[in-house]
């Protein structure tokens, strides 16, 4: 089977740390070209724009997008018009309207698309899916706290309108929970803390519900200590499962469990390859919808200015 020839748009921190290593480790994909305005990716041709890559670069079958969500819609649309399969890093766009339009355009183009909620591919999520079978879930507790200066240094777009602020990492937790819950998740209330010099929140507290009986609470913080906390607790009548380290670690009633050794980005690219093989797409928007609802119903509190 010939490898899928992949182009990459955007070569920032997430592409360098996660996408490129996962692509190189895959036997299904071959990275053949990169479009970037910043640091150049070694070992492959680099282009200053997607248009230049498509016009002058080597042939590609699929394109992965790692640019900020603002302005991403037009880039993905360009790739779809060229008949390319697309993988779109989370969040797929800066608005629900753009993301919904992309779903229609993927379907119209007859290609495969993946909105890449990478945290759903954390190894512990598979454990949680199996453990929840036949159990009565009552409450979910999310604590998603990290230091933005460590994980997103110098990335001013996060604080601009559409950059999502604390929801940029927090949406990872929401992507896991929406994968695990059997019914839709709704935001009942949200408190958003917005620095006086920013347009996006640096912290948020959410009260949510799924169905009639499952209460979901989330505490999100983007100015936490350097010791990040990415945890989700699943409370059932039969016990408590806890996912830590973003879903890489699992315990049940305090007892550590074994998990797969496959990382989330390699697993995600494996999923993308299978979608292409099957002529299917995976374009779920529930995590982004919950963020949009949080902004819609949330109360906003102005807090101290944020400086790196």
Q: How many Å is the Cα radius of gyration of the chain?
A: 19
Task: Out of 90, 138, 145, 280, pick the active-site residue.
Answer: 90
The answer to whether the CB of 220 falls within 8 A of the CB of 193 is no
CA distance 257 to 21: 27
pLDDT for residue 308: 86
Give span(s): CATH 3.40.50.720, the chain.
4-117+265-282
Helical H segments across the chain, by residue range: 13-14, 20-25, 50-56, 72-81, 96-109, 123-132, 148-151, 167-180, 264-278, 286-297
**Diameter of the chain measured on Cα atoms:** 60
pLDDT for residue 283: 98
CA distance 157 to 69: 9
Asked if 81 is an active-site residue, the reply is no
Which residue, 18, 115, 19, 121, is CA-closest to 69? 115
3-state secondary structure of 304: coil
0.85 exceeded by pTM: yes
DSSP code string of 235-277? EETTEEEEEEGGGTEEEETTEEE------HHHHHHHHHHHHHH
3-state secondary structure of 119: helix
The answer to whether the CB of 119 falls within 8 A of the CB of 246 is yes
> Which residues are within 8 A (CB) of 233 and not within 5 positions of it... i.e. 6 or more apart?
139, 140, 141, 240, 241, 242, 243
> Tokens representing 222?
């983007």
CATH architecture group of domain 4-117+265-282 = 3-Layer(aba) Sandwich (3.40)
Mean pLDDT, 10 residues at a time, the chain of 308 residues: 94 95 97 95 96 97 95 96 97 94 97 98 96 95 96 90 92 97 95 97 97 93 93 96 97 96 96 98 97 96 95
Q: What is the torsion angle, in degrees rounded to the nearest 10, for the CA atoms of residue 69, residue 75, residue 80 and residue 81?
A: 150
Give span(s): CATH 3.30.360.10, the chain.
119-260+291-303
CA distance 300 to 119: 27
Separation in Å, CA 233 to CA 108, 139, 175, 201, 226 = 40, 8, 14, 24, 21
For the chain, the straight-line distance linking the first and the last C-alpha, in angstroms and rounded, comes to 48
Classify 119-260+291-303 by CATH class: alpha beta
């Amino acid at each position: 089977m010939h490898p899928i020839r992949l182009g990459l748009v955007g070569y920032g921190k997430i592409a360098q740390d996660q996408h490129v290593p996962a692509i190189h480790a895959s036997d299904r994909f071959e990275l053949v070209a990169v479009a970037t305005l910043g640091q150049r990716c070694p070992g492959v041709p680099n282009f200053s724009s997607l248009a230049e890559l498509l016009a002058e670069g080597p042939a590609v079958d699929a394109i992965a997008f790692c640019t900020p969500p603002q302005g991403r819609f037009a880039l993905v649309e360009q790739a779809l018009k060229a008949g390319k399969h697309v993988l779109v890093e989370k969040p797929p766009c800066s608005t629900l309207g753009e993301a919904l339009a992309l779903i229609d355009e993927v379907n119209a183009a007859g290609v495969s698309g993946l909105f890449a909620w990478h945290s759903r591919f954390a190894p512990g999520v598979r454990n949680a899916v199996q453990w929840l079978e036949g159990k009565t879930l009552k409450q979910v507790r999310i604590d998603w706290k990290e230091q933005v200066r460590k994980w997103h240094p110098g990335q001013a777009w996060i604080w601009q309108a559409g950059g999502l602020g604390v929801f940029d990492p927090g949406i990872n937790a929401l992507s896991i929970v929406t994968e695990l819950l059997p019914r839709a998740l709704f935001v009942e209330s949200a408190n958003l803390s917005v620095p006086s010099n920013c347009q996006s929140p640096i912290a948020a507290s959410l009260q949510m519900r799924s169905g009639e009986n499952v209460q979901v609470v989330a505490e999100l913080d983007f100015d936490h200590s350097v010791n990040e906390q990415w945890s989700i607790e699943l409370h059932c009548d039969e016990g408590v499962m806890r996912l830590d380290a973003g879903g890489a670690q699992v315990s049940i009633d305090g007892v550590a469990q074994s998990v797969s050794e496959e990382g989330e980005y390699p697993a995600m690219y494996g999923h993308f390859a299978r979608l292409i093989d099957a002529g299917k797409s995976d374009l779920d928007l529930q995590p982004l919808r919950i963020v949009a609802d949080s902004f819609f119903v949330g109360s906003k509190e102005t807090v101290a200015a944020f400086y790196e």
